[in-house]
Amino acid sequence: MERLVYDRMRGLEQRHWWFVGRRAILSRLIGDLPLPGQARLLEAGCGVGGNIEMLSRFGRLEALEPDAPSRAYVAERYGLTPQDGRLPDGLPYSPRSFDAVFALDVVEHVEDDRSAVAALAELVAPGGFLVLTVPAYGWMWSAHDLAHHHKRRYTRARLAALLDGSGLTWVKLSYFNTLLFPLAALVRLGRRCLGLGGQDDAMPPAGLNGAMTALFASEAGWLRQAGLPFGLSIVGIARRG
C-alpha cells in the first residue's frame, strides 16, 4: 500500500464503520470455531494492528507484516512485535504450527494469490483453520484499489478455487457487507462515471458512522447460520482435517 494509506489507517481502524463492523462479524465467526485452549494464532499481514486486540481474545497471537514502520507502530501501541515476512515465500514459521491463521484483506495484495493461500494453508496444524477475507467483484474496481495496491477483486467461485487448491477443506464461504452493498455500489460506480478519483474511506459524521456500523455488524447472526448472496467482501474459512 502507499505510505499515506498506512498512515491514514492508523486513525480509521478503531472507529470507521467498515473496520468496526468487520471485527464484530469476524469475532462472532471465530468464536464459533472449535479452537483449543491457548490456541496458537497468526495474523499474516497485520498492517497497523487494527485486529490485534480482537484476535488476541482467542489465543496466543503472533503477527507478520512486511512494512517496517507498521511493525514498529504495532509494537509500540499493542506490545506485540510482528515478524518481518512476505507471501508466498518469506514466511518465518514452521509448517503446521498454528491452530488458526488469519489473512484479512491480504491476498488481494499478492501477485501470486494461489501460492500465497497455499503457503498460509501450510502453516495450519491438523484440525486448525485458515480464515480469509477479500474484496468482492472486479467491476467494483476503483481508485481505492489502486491506492491500496490491490492486484484483483474476487468472486465467491474464485476464492473457493483458491481454497480447494490449498489442501484444506472450506467450511464457510460467503459474501458479506450485504446490507450496505447497494449504496456502496451506487457511490463507487457514480464516482467512476463522473471521473472522480480520490479515496472513498473518509470518516462519516458520528451519527451516520454509528448507524452504518450497527447495520454492518448485524450481518453476523445471518453469517453464523448461512451465507449471504452478494456483498462488498467475501469471507472464507477452511480447515485441515
Residue range 86-141, pLDDT digits in tens: 999 999 999 999 999 999 999 999 999 999 999 999 999 999 999 999 999 999 99
Q: pLDDT at position 217, please?
A: 98
- Total-model pTM: 0.95
Q: pLDDT at position 195, please?
A: 66
77, 42 Cβ separation under 8 angstroms: no
150, 122 Cβ separation under 8 angstroms: no
CA distances from 11 to 17, 19, 110 (A): 12, 11, 25
Cell of 44: 499474516
Count of all residues that appear for the chain in the document: 241
Which range, 11-15, 143-147, 211-215, has the best average confidence (pLDDT)? 211-215
- 64 forms beta bridges with 44, 83
Q: State the sign of the Cα–Cα–Cα–Cα dihedral 102, 15, 136, 175.
A: positive
- 130 forms beta bridges with 101, 238
Kindly report the CATH number that applies to the domain delimited by 3-239. 3.40.50.150
- 175 forms beta bridges with 228, 234
Cell of 200: 472513498
Q: What is the 3-state secondary structure (H, E, C) of 111-148?
A: CCHHHHHHHHHHCEEEEEEEEEEEEECHHHCCHHHHHC
CA dihedral 219, 221, 224, 228 (to 10 degrees): -40
106, 87 Cβ separation under 8 angstroms: yes
